[in-house]
């Protein structure tokens, strides 16, 4: 079922009476990156995913986003749907949103799943890369940026064996509104560093990282894992930065094992 909340496209799948998992996607993707997880987990959970403002089917508006406005959007969904302490599951930019939400509104969640993400803010080199990305989109349009960025997100196994799937993902993201994509880049560029708060996360937390993740590699995610009290770490074989798409069976198993272990 699709709902529109504060202009955002929100997708619900599964039983309303069940425990909820709220999925937050990465950049520059949309809610469908979680499809394989939703297909499996909606058998036992209410799975909610949404398109972050400016991406997928959620309108771009003025493109003036911050990580804070992304949390406001997330909170609006929680409140509007009256969600009772869902499990928060975010990948990469969705992980940045989740980590900041765990600082601002942690009492609203029962557990966290952090996939292929990091707590550090962009350093100067990272900020300049984002600025160059924005400049490139203005100059060349979205497609060349989307192709390069998205290709870099996937591991070698996926790139070699699932070329058509990769092409489809690139084509889809190339159709997004460039205003929204540039807005997300600005929000990521200006986000705060959440590393200091990792030791305050008391919720059961699962850290998932693709073994071939070049953007947020296992070494970075292991460091995050060591800073969180009640965390589990799972490295996903044959997967890069987009582990839930690249190796959904192993990601689904890791999530299921974590949920069972924590009686969720
Ligand atoms: C993502 O997958 O959301 C992006 O790689 C995040 C980023 O560019 O920092």
Q: What is the pLDDT of residues 145-192, one digit of tens each?
A: 999 999 999 999 999 999 999 999 999 999 999 999 999 999 999 999
Confirm or reject: Cβ of 34 under 6 Å from ligand 1.
no
> Cβ atoms within 10 A of the Cβ of 10, count?
22
Q: What does the pLDDT read at residue 100?
A: 98
User: Given a cut of 90, is residue 61 above it in pLDDT?
Assistant: yes
Residues in the chain: 264
CB 28 within 8 A of CB 240: no
* Nearest atom, ligand 1, residue 92 CA: 3
Whether pLDDT at 90 is above 90:
yes
Which residue has 């490295």 as its token pair?
Answer: 235
Q: Is the pLDDT of residue 16 over 90?
A: no
Which pLDDT score is estimated for 217?
Answer: 98
Whether 230 shows a pLDDT value over 90: the answer reads: no
Whether residue 17 has pLDDT greater than 90: no
Mean pLDDT across the stretch 215-241?
97
Mean pLDDT for the stretch of residues 188-210 = 98
> Is residue 12 within 6 Å of ligand 1 at its C-beta?
no
- Compute the mean pLDDT over every residue in the chain, rounded to the nearest whole number: 98
pTM beyond cutoff 0.85: yes
- The mean pLDDT of 69-91, rounded to a whole number, is 98
% of the chain beyond a pLDDT of 90: 98
Does the Cβ of 188 fall within 6 Å of ligand 1?
Answer: yes
Residue 171 near residue 258, CB atoms below 8 Å: no
For 236-251, the pLDDT digits (tens) are 999 999 999 999 999 9
What pLDDT was estimated at residue 179?
Answer: 98
Residue 93 CA, closest ligand 1 atom number? 3
133 touches ligand 1 (CB under 6 Å): no
Cα–ligand 1 centroid distance for 26 (angstroms): 6
Q: Are 131 and 73 in contact (CB under 8 A)?
A: no
Q: What is the spatial distance between Cα 46 and Cα 249, in angstroms, rounded to a whole number?
A: 19
Relative to beta strand 2-5, strand 8-13 is: antiparallel
Best residue among 123, 215, 242 to mutate for probing ligand 1, ranked by most atoms within 8 Å of CB: 215
Answer whether 26 contacts ligand 1 (Cβ < 6 A). yes
């Amino acid at each position: 079922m699709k709902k529109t909340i504060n202009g955002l496209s929100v997708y619900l799948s599964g039983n309303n009476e069940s425990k909820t998992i709220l999925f937050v996607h990465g950049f520059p993707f949309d809610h469908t990156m979680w499809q394989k997880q939703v297909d499996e987990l909606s058998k036992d959970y209410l799975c909610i995913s949404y398109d972050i403002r400016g991406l997928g089917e959620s309108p771009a508006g003025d493109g003036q986003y911050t990580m804070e406005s992304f949390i406001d959007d997330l909170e609006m969904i929680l409140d509007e749907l009256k969600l009772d302490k869902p499990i928060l599951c975010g990948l990469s930019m969705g992980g940045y949103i989740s980590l900041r939400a765990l600082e601002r509104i942690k009492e609203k969640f029962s557990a966290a799943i952090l996939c292929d993400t990091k707590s550090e803010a962009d350093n100067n080199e990272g900020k300049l890369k984002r600025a160059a990305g924005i400049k490139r989109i203005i100059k060349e349009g979205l497609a060349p940026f989307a192709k390069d960025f998205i290709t870099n997100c996937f591991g070698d196994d996926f790139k070699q064996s699932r070329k058509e799937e990769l092409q489809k993902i690139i084509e889809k993201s190339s159709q997004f509104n460039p205003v929204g994509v540039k807005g997300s880049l600005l929000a990521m560029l200006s986000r705060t560093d959440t590393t200091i708060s990792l030791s305050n996360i008391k919720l059961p937390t699962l850290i998932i990282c693709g073994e071939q993740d070049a953007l947020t590699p296992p070494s970075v995610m292991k460091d995050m894992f060591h800073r969180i009290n009640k965390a589990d770490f799972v490295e996903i074989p044959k997967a890069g930065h987009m582990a839930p798409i690249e190796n959904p069976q192993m990601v689904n198993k890791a999530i299921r094992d974590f949920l069972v272990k924590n009686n969720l």
